[in-house]
Structure formats: C-alpha cells, structure tokens
Amino acid sequence: MTITRRLIVVTLMLLGAMPVSAQDSAKLAEQKKDAVKGVDEMAKLAQEMVDSVFSFGELGMQEIETSKYLTAQLEKFGFKVTRGQSGIPTAWVATYGSGKPVIALGSDIDGIPQSSQKPGVAYHDPIIEGAPGHGEGHNTGMPLNIIAAIAVKRIMERDKLPGTIMLWPGVAEELVASKAWFVRDGMFKDVDVNLFTHVGGNLSTSWGQQGGTGLVSIEYTFEGETAHSAGAPWRGRSALDAVELMSVGWQYRREHLRLSHRSHSIITNGGDQPNVVPRNASIWFYFREIDQPHIKELVEIGNKMAEGAALMTNTRVTSRILGTAYPRHMNKTVAETMYANIQTVGLPTWSEQDQMLAKGLQKELGNATQNGLAVKLGELGKPVALEDNNGGGSDDIGDISWNMPTITLSYPANIPGLPGHNWSSGIASATPIAHKGVVAGAKAQAMTVLDLLTKPELVKQAWAYFNDVQTKDVKYIPFITRDTPAPTHLNQAILGKYREQMRKYYYDPTKFGTYLEQLGITYPTLRK
Ligand SMILES: [Zn+2]
C-alpha cells in the first residue's frame, strides 16, 4: 500500500466510511489476535488435557476414559455432546452455534500396542512393560482442537458470529476403523469444511493428492474340525493349515505385485493346543495401494487366495472387513488459508532442554541426522503425482477428504525422525515439546476457523476445487457397505489385561503441575 493510499484508508476509517471489505478484514485481524491471545491463556488447560489423555494410553475402540474426559471438558465449556456415533461407544460429536457454515475439527485419539513409555526419558523405559501407550502422539490432537474451539467460541459469542463448530474424534485410527463409518452414516452431511489435525515434527499443511496409501483391512477366519492330533489326525481338518498356506501363498504372490503396494498380516487365532487339530484359525491382512482400483485388486487377490487355502485344507472360510482408508486428497483453498495462518503463528520457541531430549533420542535411535526439533517452518505441501508415489502409511481421513473439503494440519508436538508406531513416539508426547506444539497448532487452527466463518467466499472456493477439480474424474466408492458393522470388539482383550495396572498412573492435575512431575521424571533424562 502506498503512503497516499494508506492515508486515504485511515481518513475513511476516521470518517467511519471505510469500504466494507477493508473494515471486515481489519475486524477479522482483530478477532484472530484475540483468538491467539485466548489460546495462549489456555496453555495450562492444554497441558492438562495433553497429559491426561497421554496417561490413559488407550487403544482403538477402547478409548473409554479418553472420550469420557474429553467430552466432559467440552460440556464444561458449553458444547453440546451426542455419543455413540455409528454404533461405536467411544465416538461422539460436540457442537456449538447454529446454522452455516459448519466447520468440523477432528483428530485421532487412540494409542499403539506395546508402546508404554515414560515421557521425557530419551531411551526405552516403559511405565508398564508390554502395556499400550501413545506411541504415535495421538494424545495431543483433540486437546489442540478443543483449545482452538473454545477460543473461537468466545469470539462467536462476543461478536454474534453465525455458524457452527463441530468437534469429533478419530476413533481407532490405527485400525482405520471409524471414519468411513462416520461418512457412511451421515455424520458430516451438513459440514462445509473439515479441519483435521495430526501430530508431526513441524507446523505445516498440504493440498492435492497426498503421498502414502489407502487400505482395506480384512480378517479371514477358517473353520475345520478337531481330532486327536496323534490318535486320529486323519479325522481332523486344520484351520491353522489354511492360515499358514494363505500366509505363505501371499508371500510368494508379493513378488508379482506393484512396487507401490504394501501388505502385512498377523495371525489372530492359531488354535488352542497342539494335541487338538485347530478347528478355528484367523489371519488379519492390511492390503495397501495408492489408489482405489488397485486396493480393490489386492482385496480380490486376497479373497481368492483364502478360497484356495480353504480348498487345500478342506476347511471353510469367512471374512470380515475391519477397517478401510481411502488415499488422501486435500483441499487447495483451505490449505492455502491455513498456511497463511501458519506463517503468522510460526514455530514454538524450544528450550535447551527440549532440544537436548530431541537430540538425545535421535542419537539413541542411531539416526544419521541428529538435528533436534524443527526450527524452520516447512513449505506448503504440494500434490504428489501417482507415478511418484512409492506408498507408505494410510489414514482414514482419506474417506472424509473425498466427501467434503478437508485438510490436515500437522503440528510440531513430536520429535522428527522417529520410526513411528513405537515407544519413541511417546517420549515427547507429555513434555513441554507437546504442550508448546499444541498451543502453536491451536492458534493456526483457530485463525483458520475464523477465516472460514467470516469469509463465505472461501467456503465457496473450497467447494469449487472439490467439485470441479478433485472429484471431476475420480469418485468416492466406499469399501464398506450399509451392513458392515464397526469392529468395536478390537483391543478389548489387551485393555482387559492392562487397564487396572494403567489406572494407577492416570494423571491427576489437582495434585501435580504436570505428568512429568507426577512420575518424578527429571526433564530431560538422557542416557548416561
Ligand atoms: Zn496417526
């Protein structure tokens, strides 16, 4: 703006006759500043929520304490909560406001098996050996959204802004077992834009077709007949033989699958005892590929192979879909809006202790680069062409991204360069690194919600990209049907085994300033 133009604007402002758009953008800038201030004032609440959810350490479908706690927080701050979405006891929706636009904020809440870990300690040191924990950092995303939503809600109330904020949890993301069901059951039918958050090593976002894969997760269960394994083995039909043959068959077939594919399996039931021919046995596969037609192809190969294994062993096979995730495609308009806010927020200021922990862990893991925490903002991520996509992980946010404008905000609440799905990802997750990363992310999230609430043209542009670019040639074809039930039984046994032991370590914010303090951990604790 030239000095003359600035003078004109100032003069118009003084005259109370500033052009509407300039007036609006000055007001929005003020609202954003207030939201950022509000988030900063809730840093203590952010820490309490992050540490509490970390201490619950619950696996997918068993996020009982987590959901009870988070919904109680939301109700305390005036959000309306409905529970039990898609027949999933730990799924819920919280809303505030009314009418359009409807802006949804989501994030995952589940943990990883065998990843129990003392936070702030730069080597493997479980709180409870063998127990689950937050070995991905999913304890931080919903606290981020809640802080952002409370900050925005206060401004909506004060300035009488129309619109609705909706919060929802990514239940069982590690099993990709809820979001396709939420979509199927119309949970997002009124939503204009979905702002998803996921823990990462930087503050960033991206748009277009993403890297990584989509997947279908299927369990095959074989049924044979028992017999005395030594006395009359010829009278038995072994379901375990079928499982083993299918497993071996898949390993041979793997050589002839596309390089972009990923597949893995575990045996969920291998029989009862050696002297009884196994009547039932099950094997659980994740079939991953980079687009829908190729995922479908893998499922068809798997189904055929299961039939083959049943034929070879004279057993019967049934199968059940336990999870699905679409490859992700993120919205350009929304990502660019978020990225502008990210640049305003910037990265947190890391302390010397934060960097010591990060570098100590990177050294412990033998990483080639031990640069510690990110100190430079990442670029806005651009589309990944299918031919450049060599596969990788999945997230069922993909299913949502094909049904409405969606982005994922990645926020710096973890240490870069970790293997993932491992105890090491829990080390930063209840420390100042996570607390600061969540506060930074909540600011960008709150500012973007305000953009979307006050600038209807943004929502329109986002839908134009969604309709005219993203879904012009590619359509969403769900892998589940109307009748596919959500697999709510998963992880029951593991939590049944560990919950009572874990309960003793739940964070009590009324007695301790932080979870580190409750556990008596010096921050950071490095290998001597
Ligand atoms: Zn995740």
Residue 376 phi/psi, 5-degree rounding, is -130, 130
Tell me how far the alpha carbon of residue 393 lies from the centroid of ligand 1, in angstroms: 9
Which pLDDT band, with edges at 50, 70 and 90, does 22 fall under? Answer: confident
Q: Is the pLDDT of residue 13 over 60?
A: no
What would the pLDDT profile of 238-260 be if each residue is shown by its tens digit?
999 999 999 999 999 999 999 99
Tell me how far the alpha carbon of residue 466 lies from the centroid of ligand 1, in angstroms: 24
| Three-state DSSP state, 216 | strand
Tell me how far the alpha carbon of residue 167 lies from the centroid of ligand 1, in angstroms: 17
What would the pLDDT profile of 136-175 be if each residue is shown by its tens digit?
999 999 999 999 999 999 999 999 999 999 999 999 999 9
Tell me how far the alpha carbon of residue 198 lies from the centroid of ligand 1, in angstroms: 6
Res 21: pLDDT: 82
Question: Mean pLDDT of all residues in the chain?
Answer: 96
Helix axes 332-345, 456-465, angle to 10 degrees: 130
Tell me how far the alpha carbon of residue 174 lies from the centroid of ligand 1, in angstroms: 7
pTM: 0.95
How far, in Å, CA of 97 to CA of 83, rounded?
18
Res 3: pLDDT: 56
Contact call for residues 283 and 268 (beta carbons, < 8 A): yes
**Which of 12-21, 60-69, 308-317, 439-448 bottoms out in mean pLDDT, i.e. has the lowest?**
12-21
Tell me how far the alpha carbon of residue 76 lies from the centroid of ligand 1, in angstroms: 27
Q: Is 98 exposed, middle or buried (0-12, 13-18, 19+ CB in 10 A)?
A: exposed
Which distant-in-sequence residues (6+ apart) come within 8 Å of 417 by Cβ? Answer: 201, 362, 365, 367, 369, 371
Res 245: pLDDT: 98
What would the pLDDT profile of 364-410 be if each residue is shown by its tens digit?
999 999 999 999 999 999 999 999 999 999 999 999 999 999 999 99
Res 15: pLDDT: 46
Q: Is the pLDDT of residue 9 over 70?
A: no
Res 504: pLDDT: 98
In the chain, % of residues over pLDDT 70:
96
Res 317: pLDDT: 99
Tell me how far the alpha carbon of residue 159 lies from the centroid of ligand 1, in angstroms: 35
How far, in Å, CA of 285 to CA of 221, rounded?
11
- Output the six-digit token pair for 161: 């802004």
What would the pLDDT profile of 182-224 be if each residue is shown by its tens digit?
999 999 999 999 999 999 999 999 999 999 999 999 999 999 9
How far, in Å, CA of 381 to CA of 326, rounded?
19
Q: Is the pLDDT of residue 16 over 60?
A: no
